[in-house]
Amino acid sequence: MTLSILNGLVFLLFISDALASLNVLNAVSNLGVRPIQKTLADSKDFVEIAAENGYFAEVHEVVTEDGYILKMFRIPPRNNCTKKVPILLMHGLLQVAECFLDAGPEAPGFLLAEECYDSWFGNVRGNYHSRRHKTLNPDEDLKFWQFSVDEIGKYDVPAMVDYVLDATAMKQLIYLGFSQGGLTYFIMNSERPEYVKKIKLFLGLAPGSREYHSRSKEVRVAANLINSLRIPLEAAGVWEVLSQGFPIQGALSTLCTVELLSAVVCGLVKTSVDSSHPGSVTPETQKRLFQHAPAGTSVQNLAWFGQAVNSLKFSKFDFGRVKNMQVYGKSTPPEYDIGASKSPAVIFHGNGDHLVDTKDVSWAVEQLPNVLEFYVAEDPLWNHSDICYSRYWKDVIFGTMKKYLNQYDHIDDN
């Protein structure tokens, strides 16, 4: 199967996902229920993955100011551990918290737990762990899905920061954000600067912001398509895309359980949206990756990325001139102030990253007032998925990360 054919397959799966969402929602609209989503028999959730690696994990619920009910996981430190500042890990676009465990015993989440960190793992609104609201029904209410990174950064991230600090009786935490998880950190600080004092150290793993130079053709095409079709899609009842169990996730998770197909098809799918780095992500990790992702988000959130890849600005959602006047009081969306993120920051990146390009990460780094180090992996093939899933994560990323963790994990000034 050539790469061009595979790219076409990915695109067709994406379109079929949207169409299936429409057909399913129409079919069940009179019943007011959502069909049970399919998962593989051997697919494990966060608690199960933690247990099979020798860790106990807790499940927590956080309610945002605007009523979204978010699921969080925690791997508490073992009894023989010295108490440290807690760490909050936030996943990227279309992911769930399991992304930090999928790479096995030396995955980021387990390495931090092994170092005695009180590790908390967030899930943002709209993914399959956080598909709940106090009053809105995600199967019936468009309002549930009228969100993008704007709301995730303004409401979800602050709610989870506060929850962790309250649960641990601490005043500060360490924030680790991968991709969208870094982008929404910048939004939080821009929108709610009082949270700066709650972050002792920011660890940005290929953090998003401006997305103009993204080299992923498939992501650019899909995001642009969703942005151009957002209003008719929402009018037709398609509010949620790329969710667990629908065509693209179901097909990939099934194919990736077949040993021969996993290396060829699933490896090429991952490469088609990022770049190639042979051998960096193991077949077993790849299998788990596609069992947990794509994890679902709103049409509006993907539309935000469709706007971002065409702009040199890091701005709020663009509703169009008329609605922008109603929402923002001006015809164009306001820009976010990355400089408001004043906490000490360490940024990690790879020059092989086709999703979050080095030019855009460098631009964000230039705006940050307190960067301790901008670490670029020596391996020129180090790409976006490597930042979370590589078998070499411990050697390439964690060594440098530990240096700064050791400087900022003490609780004597909390």
Residue-level pLDDT, tens digit, the chain, 414 residues: 333 333 444 444 444 444 444 444 433 333 333 333 444 445 799 999 999 999 999 999 999 999 999 999 999 999 889 999 999 999 999 999 999 999 999 999 999 999 999 999 999 999 999 999 999 999 999 999 999 999 999 999 999 999 999 999 999 999 999 999 999 999 999 999 999 999 999 999 999 999 999 998 888 888 899 999 999 999 999 899 888 766 555 566 566 656 555 555 565 565 667 888 989 999 889 888 888 988 999 999 999 999 999 999 999 999 999 999 999 999 999 999 999 999 999 999 999 999 999 999 999 999 999 999 999 999 999 999 999 999 999 999 999 999 999 999 998 654
Q: What is the pLDDT of residue 32?
A: 32
pTM score, whole prediction: 0.89
Q: Which residues pair with 176 in a beta bridge?
A: 89, 203
Cβ–Cβ under 8 Å, residues 177 and 158: no
CA angle 313, 154, 34 (to 5 degrees): 105
Q: What is the pLDDT of residue 218?
A: 81
Query: Tokens 């042979």 belong to which residue?
Result: 278
Catalytic residue ranges: 179, 353, 384
Tokens at 331, concatenated: 């015809």
Per residue in 184-216, is it b (16+ CB within 10 Å) or e — as a string?
bbbbbbbbbeebeebbbbbbbbbbbbbbbbbbb
Q: Which residues pair with 90 in a beta bridge?
A: 177
Peptide bond connecting 105 to the previous residue in cis, omega within 30 degrees of 0: no
- Residue 95 backbone class (left: φ over 0; alpha: ψ -120 to 50; beta: rest): beta
Cβ–Cβ under 8 Å, residues 338 and 345: no
Going by C-alpha positions, the residue among 370, 348, 363, 347 that lies closest to residue 197 is 370
Helix 247-255 and helix 3-28, axial crossing angle in degrees, nearest 10: 130
Q: What is the CATH number of domain 3-408?
A: 3.40.50.1820
Q: What is the pLDDT of residue 310?
A: 96
Instruction: For residues 207 and 187, give the distance between their C-alpha atoms in angstroms, rounded to a whole number.
Output: 12
DSSP code for 29: T
| Three state DSSP letters for 342-402 | CCCEEEEECCCCCCCCHHHHHHHHHHCCCEEEEEECCCCCCCCCHHHHCCCHHHHHHHHHH
Instruction: For residues 290 and 196, give the distance between their C-alpha atoms in angstroms, rounded to a whole number.
Output: 34
Instruction: For residues 230 and 297, give the distance between their C-alpha atoms in angstroms, rounded to a whole number.
Output: 13
Q: Give the rounded distance of the alpha carbon of 43 from its chain centre.
A: 20
Q: What is the pLDDT of residue 33?
A: 33
Longest dimension (CA), the chain: 59
- In angstroms and rounded to an integer, the radius of gyration of the C-alpha atoms of the chain is 20
Instruction: For residues 297 and 242, give the distance between their C-alpha atoms in angstroms, rounded to a whole number.
Output: 7
* Residue 338: other Cβ atoms inside 10 A: 23
Q: What is the pLDDT of residue 22?
A: 46
Q: Taking the domains of the chain in order of start, what are their residue ranges? A: 3-408
C-alpha pair distances (Å), 205 with each of 164, 183, 185, 229, 315: 21, 10, 12, 31, 21
* Residue 325: other Cβ atoms inside 10 A: 13
C-alpha pair distances (Å), 2 with each of 7, 216, 231, 312, 382: 9, 17, 35, 33, 23
Instruction: For residues 155 and 161, give the distance between their C-alpha atoms in angstroms, rounded to a whole number.
Output: 10
Instruction: For residues 414 and 412, give the distance between their C-alpha atoms in angstroms, rounded to a whole number.
Output: 6
Tokens at 272, concatenated: 């088609």
Q: What is the pLDDT of residue 174?
A: 98
* Residue 131: other Cβ atoms inside 10 A: 23
Instruction: For residues 393 and 395, give the distance between their C-alpha atoms in angstroms, rounded to a whole number.
Output: 6
Torsion from C-alpha of 44, 239, 154, 46, nearest 10 degrees: 0
Please tell me the total number of residues recorded for the chain in this structure: 414
